[in-house]
Amino acid sequence: IVTVTINDIPVSCPETTLILDAAKMAGIDIPVLCYHPDLKVRATCRICIVEVKGQKKFKTACSNEVWDGAEFITNSPAIRQARKDILELILAEHPQECLQCIRNTKCELQQLARDFGVSQPLFANKPKQIPPEDANGVIVRDMAKCVKCGRCAEMCQEVQTVGAINTAHRSVDYEITTAFDRPLQDSTCVYCGQCISVCPVGALYEQDDTEKVWQAIGDTGKHVVVQVAPAVRVALGEEFGLPPGSITIGKMIAALRRLGFDKIFDTNFAADVTILEESHELLARMNSEAVLPLITSCSPGWINFVETFYPELLPHVSSCKSPQQMFGALVKTYYPKVAGIDAANIISVSVMPCTAKKHESARPEMNSSGYRDVDIVLTTRELARMIKQAGFDFNNLVGEAFDAPLGISTGAAVIFGASGGVMEAALRTAYEVVTGIDLANVEFTAARGLTGVKEAEVDLAGKKVKVAIANGLKNARVILDKIKAGQCDYHFVEIMCCPGGCIGGGGQPWGTTTATKEARLNSIYQLDREMPIRKSHKNPAVKALYKEFLEKPLSRKAHELLHTHYVP
């Protein structure tokens, strides 16, 4: 423990504390731009410089630790001027189009310019003339707005280990780019959107599909249904100023109904169906010579990753479509039957915490209903934008409930939104299917939390089932390399593309950090605890679906509609 002062306020902290964090302890926020709490420090923007009494040179607060007796000054005239100069230089080549920018009012650069009073530009504005790249239909890269903080490259390289986005050149030529400066769709990009999550400005964002949805709900001849993913309900509130993790299911449904959707359904219904299909697939594989471990398939960024980086492991991947796509196939086959509606008139919209879901829904094979199973995918951010455009006072909406039957779900389904949730939900069902015993304690806590790789062993009627969970693609590599080397005897593996699972998806509100994710995780498990039914196979609407339509898990019809296959 050392003692330092920040603007004459004494602070005692471990000597490994960054100046930035020591300042926080003194109640002082030092401005940052290239720094992100979940990424390796780059210290390239220099906006966080501070003065040290007795030293001439400024120090960057994000990359330097404190030392005993040090006296830091964070807001001297010289520091304020230096920060202003840095901002002026960035703004000199930044397009001045804040009003049209997707990050307007949510841009970290705009906030800094406001905070430091950068109102009279010192330099002529000469933005780079680079057209936005948007041909992939998922992620827009508007590199004219890039401030070269490097956060996206750090995320793509070090956290996701995909390497689609890179840094190149040095000094004034330094830039963020892709391999050979090719468009994203020609790179190894898996569309996870994690780069969007950490971008401080409007250089990276999802393709905006809100206009398509406005048109659909404005078309009186169409029956527009919406499904909402588990992780959206614990994050949407942040867009309306509520604390991270706020549970807004009722308000969210009320808002969707007011927007004009004809039916408000739940992806969780399909998550329960996924559990029935996938747990039976696991048991079938364990009872035969089929390849093990079985690996989950609901995270589309992960599917893109395995196809690109580990195609030889595709036989391990479950043939189950993701809940989004199972829902899409059922809403245009089963639902028209029970509701007496012509499937040709249905437009199926989903709201996802994920950008890769846009890519997944557009896969050519995702049309087993005879139509596009999911027509339009919105992110959590896009839904928030629509609610704001409609002018609803979201926080004061009176809660409403999902529609039946595709809105009925269990606690096992909602935990899909958290890393480890698919595994836990599958075990709740597999246990009862194998043992025939009612599982009293449904909580497999070893599956929970933000640890990168989690392992556990479960006793299914004397058979030890070994499971593993990886969240984030870097952690996925750890398990995949072991499987490739024949160094593990897992039966079942869950892989989610985004760190933390879908609660940390690339389509969630900007400002997502580990702290935000923890709050969302707690709420996901709270929702599970509050559900009257917590096992997928006990969902009455799912039971009816099998009785009236699918017959049984892995039936011929289930295979046609709910399963897919991957070509190595």
Look at residues 50, 568, 558 and name the one whose alpha carbon lies nearest to residue 273: 558
Given the structure tokens 């007011």, which residue do they identify? 258
Q: What are phi and psi of 2, to 5 degrees?
A: -120, 160
Q: Which does 151 bind (CB under 5 to 8 A by kind): ligand SF4, ligand HC1, none?
A: none
DSSP state of 91: H
349 strand-pairing partners:
226, 376
Residues 224-253 that bind ligand HC1 (CB under 6 A): 229-231
Give yes or no: 497 in active site: no
Q: What is the DSSP string of 385-414?
A: HHHHHHT--GGGPPP--PPSSTT---HHHH
Cα 187 from Cα 194, distance rounded (Å): 16
Q: Which does 324 bind (CB under 5 to 8 A by kind): ligand HC1, ligand SF4, none?
A: ligand HC1
Catalytic residue among 108, 360, 424, 432: 360
HSE-up (13 A, CA, CB side) for residue 383: 38
Q: Which does 200 bind (CB under 5 to 8 A by kind): ligand HC1, ligand SF4, none?
A: none
- Smallest gap from Cβ 66 to ligand SF4, in A, equals 33
CA-derived radius of gyration, the chain:
25
One-letter amino acid for residue 215 of the chain: Q
Give yes or no: 211 in active site: no
DSSP state of 231: G
Alpha helices in 57-176 (DSSP H): 77-92, 108-115, 151-154
Write b or e for each residue in 458-472: b if 16 or more Cβ atoms lie within 10 A of its Cβ, otherwise e.
bebeeeebbbbbbbb
Give yes or no: 197 in active site: no
Q: Which stretch binds ligand SF4 (CB under 6 A): 64-72, 184-192, 326-334, 461-469?
A: 184-192
Grouping H, G, I as helix, E, B as strand and the rest as coil, residue 230 is helix
Is residue 253 at the binding interface for ligand SF4, with CB under 6 A as the rule?
A: no
- Smallest gap from Cβ 380 to ligand SF4, in A, equals 16
User: Dihedral (C-alpha) 412, 413, 415, 420: value to the nearest 10 degrees?
Assistant: 80
Q: Which does 70 bind (CB under 5 to 8 A by kind): ligand SF4, ligand HC1, none?
A: none
Considering beta carbons, is residue 118 or 192 the nearer one to ligand SF4? 192
Quickly count helices (H) and strands (E) in the chain: 19, 17
- Smallest gap from Cβ 69 to ligand SF4, in A, equals 42
One-letter amino acid for residue 66 of the chain: V
- Smallest gap from Cβ 111 to ligand SF4, in A, equals 23
Q: Which does 505 bind (CB under 5 to 8 A by kind): ligand HC1, ligand SF4, none?
A: ligand HC1
Sign of the alpha-carbon torsion through 263, 361, 359, 304: positive
Considering beta carbons, is residue 158 or 393 the nearer one to ligand SF4? 158
Is residue 354 at the binding interface for ligand HC1, with CB under 6 A as the rule?
A: yes
Is residue 358 at the binding interface for ligand HC1, with CB under 6 A as the rule?
A: no
Is residue 361 at the binding interface for ligand HC1, with CB under 6 A as the rule?
A: no
Is residue 509 at the binding interface for ligand HC1, with CB under 6 A as the rule?
A: no
52 strand-pairing partners:
72
Alpha helices in 201-322 (DSSP H): 210-218, 249-259, 267-286, 300-309
Contact by Cβ (8 Å): 357, 364: no
Considering beta carbons, is residue 405 or 501 the nearer one to ligand SF4? 501
Catalytic residue among 281, 424, 432, 494: 281
User: Which of 34, 195, 253, 480 is the binder for ligand SF4 (CB under 6 A)?
Assistant: 195
Catalytic residue among 107, 156, 195, 502: 502
Residues 462-501 that bind ligand HC1 (CB under 6 A): 501
| Count of residues interacting with ligand HC1 (CB under 6 A) | 19
Catalytic residue among 298, 354, 497, 498: 298
Write b or e for each residue in 103-113: b if 16 or more Cβ atoms lie within 10 A of its Cβ, otherwise e.
beebbbbbebb
Given the structure tokens 């006296």, which residue do they identify? 71
Angle in degrees, 0-180, between the axes of helices 421-435 and 267-286, rounded to the nearest 10: 60
Considering beta carbons, is residue 102 or 139 the nearer one to ligand SF4? 139
Contact by Cβ (8 Å): 1, 22: no
Would you mind telling me the total number of residues written for the chain in this entry?
Answer: 568
Is residue 521 at the binding interface for ligand HC1, with CB under 6 A as the rule?
A: no
Is residue 357 at the binding interface for ligand HC1, with CB under 6 A as the rule?
A: yes
Give yes or no: 299 in active site: no
Considering beta carbons, is residue 200 or 501 the nearer one to ligand HC1? 501
- Smallest gap from Cβ 317 to ligand HC1, in A, equals 14
Residues 267-306 that bind ligand HC1 (CB under 6 A): 267, 271, 298-299
- Smallest gap from Cβ 184 to ligand SF4, in A, equals 6
User: Which of 189, 366, 415, 554 is the binder for ligand SF4 (CB under 6 A)?
Assistant: 189
Cis amide prior to 353 (ω within 30 degrees): no
Is residue 139 at the binding interface for ligand SF4, with CB under 6 A as the rule?
A: yes
Structural tokens at position 219: 């078309």
Q: Which does 317 bind (CB under 5 to 8 A by kind): ligand SF4, ligand HC1, none?
A: none
Give yes or no: 365 in active site: yes
Considering beta carbons, is residue 195 or 329 the nearer one to ligand SF4? 195
Structural tokens at position 191: 């569309």
Residues 294-323 that bind ligand SF4 (CB under 6 A): none
Residues that bind ligand HC1 (CB under 6 A): 229-231, 267, 271, 298-299, 322-324, 352-354, 357, 416-417, 501-502, 505
Question: Which positions are annotated as active-site residues?
Answer: 278, 281, 298, 318, 357, 360, 365, 502
Residues that bind ligand SF4 (CB under 6 A): 139, 155-156, 160, 162, 164-165, 189-195
